[in-house]
A = this chain, B = another copy of it.
Amino acid sequence: MVRANRRIARRRRGATAIKQLAWRLPVNPFRPTEVLNPDQLEAVHGTSLQVLEDLGIEFMSPEALDVLARGGAQVDRDSGLVRFDRGLIAELLGKAPARVTVTPRDPARRLILGDKRMVFASVGGPPNVHDCERGRRPGNFADYCDILRLIQSLEIVHCIGNQPCAPTDLPAESRHLDCYQANLTLTDRVFLSTSIGADRVRDAVEMVAIARGDSLEELAARPGVISNINVNSPRRVDGAMAAGLMALARYGQVVVVTPFTLMGAMAPVTLPAALVQQNAEALACIALVQMVRPGNPVVYGAFTSNVDMRSGAPAFGTPENTLATIAGGQLARRYGLPYRSSNASASNVVDAQAVYESQMSIWGAVLGGANVLYHAAGWMEGGLTASFEKFVLDAEMLQMMSETLQPIEVDEASLGLDAIREVQPGGHFFGAAHTLARYETAFYQPMLADWRNYETWAEDGARSATERATAIWKDLLESYQQPALDAGVNDALEAYVRRRKEEIVGGRVSP
């Protein structure tokens, strides 16, 4: 099949060849799906404005309250509740750009959030790690670095999530420095910084500036850091998040705002109400970003799913999650903002459930027009574990989606009337000239799928996709190549980390 931008990158090591697609930020050509009709969308929007006007959002940060008061919001200093006039919200939303770029040290790895593009970010945040050889364990820095190597080895993973696994063997107060350093030396990709507090944000900004050889002013003009601000739903932004948000905005870096609205737990049990709450929380934080620095890049994030009402356990990739993701996209587009979604599953193992829940999440993101998919590779167990096998499996699914989003080229050659004429009824096209000219790049070639017949597959060990994924991540780690980095930059990063660790240990600066 003639398809645009088809290039196959191959990584060969000995007898092994892991084929993969070349780097590409796919452009979603589908008209976004609408699960809310225009009246319903306006009802959700309007009710969320009522929440902002009448009920308010709590900000647990005196500094944020100052900014919000100065910016025109009604601030109740006793309760921390902040109410926003709908005119103020509209005015501030009007300042946010529709398209955001994030540029890492290698400009070829620049991300575009907007323009119907999709960016796939790795898993971020799990305290645990799992692979089928070593089992489940608390995350450590060696695993952290191995996941970075997988990210760097797979062109479909465009971006590093915020701590692909927690390096629990490093001191909590300074591990973000080790993580940033590893991100900047083991990969050439954009990473999501930690957003807990202003100092961790500043460290990310300083270190990306060093890696790019840019000043902080240059970084503000051409952002290099992206981070996620979680709302402690319902209607609360804690002090560390508020500080992180304001720091990101002051440095001109990209703020992704994501309410954590699990229906039935942190949000109402009905989808429209959960969307109302999500939207009110998101708009309040977006407003604060725009008050700190008008025009600062900001992304509308959604994470509305449901819990199991018998146990309270969170569920992902459910029908409700999928519908919420699609509806969230309608809201983000209403405000002209880039949209963030997730690839999530609650399964405890890399099994059928993990895949169908992930597929529901990924398709929800595609139909919702998401511009960045968090946790796109490696998320397992509701985010409590980073899985090496799931990483490979997700990468295959993301590649398939990237190919599905490629435009179809229709012209005289691809319409193939001559090929159809050439082959007689009941014949076959294997040897047709039309086939021979195209067969090498005609179709997506999978990394993980096994299409051999049953007998051949069984004789070769009858390995499931999850078992094959183990072989692939080991192969990727073995053939990993560290991207080049200027020695001076490397030294400067080391020096920065050393100095900051001394400050933190010395208690001179709180982390």
Residues of A within 8 A of B (CB): 1-2, 29-31, 33-36, 39-40, 43-44, 47, 50-51, 54-55, 57-58, 80-81, 136, 232, 234-236, 263-274, 276-277, 280, 306-309, 311-315, 318-320, 322-323, 327, 346-357, 359-360, 363, 367, 381, 384-385, 393, 396-397, 400-401, 403-404, 406, 408-410, 413-417, 419-421, 423-430, 432, 434-435, 438-440, 442-444, 446, 448-454, 457-458, 462, 464-466, 469
- Residue with the highest number of chain B CB atoms closer than 10 Å, among A315, A319, A435: A319
- A464 to B35, alpha carbons, bound, how many Å? 33
Contact A313-B435, Cβ < 8 Å, known A35-B408, A40-B410, A359-B359: no
The minimal Cβ–Cβ distance linking A430 to chain B, given in whole angstroms, is 6
Contact A265-B428, Cβ < 8 Å, known A273-B414, A443-B306, A443-B309: yes
Report the copy number of this chain in the oligomer.
2
Chain B residues within an 8 Å CB radius of A44? 410, 415
19 new A-B pairs (CB below 8 Å) besides A30-B367, A40-B410, A265-B428?
A1-B271, A1-B320, A44-B410, A55-B421, A81-B425, A264-B435, A269-B419, A269-B439, A269-B442, A273-B414, A276-B420, A308-B451, A320-B443, A322-B404, A347-B465, A349-B464, A350-B352, A356-B396, A359-B359
B34 and A315 form a contact (CB under 8 A)? no
7 tightest Cβ-Cβ pairs between the two chains A and B: A273-B416, A319-B403, A359-B359, A58-B425, A355-B355, A351-B464, A352-B465
Contact A400-B465, Cβ < 8 Å, known A30-B33, A434-B268, A434-B269: no
B430 and A40 form a contact (CB under 8 A)? no
- A97 to B319, alpha carbons, bound, how many Å? 33
A353 and B43 form a contact (CB under 8 A)? no
B450 and A348 form a contact (CB under 8 A)? yes
- Residue with the highest number of chain B CB atoms closer than 10 Å, among A236, A308, A350: A308
Q: Which of B51, B352, B409, B450 contacts A417 (CB 8 A)?
A: B51
- A349 to B466, alpha carbons, bound, how many Å? 11
Chain B residues within an 8 Å CB radius of A34? 31
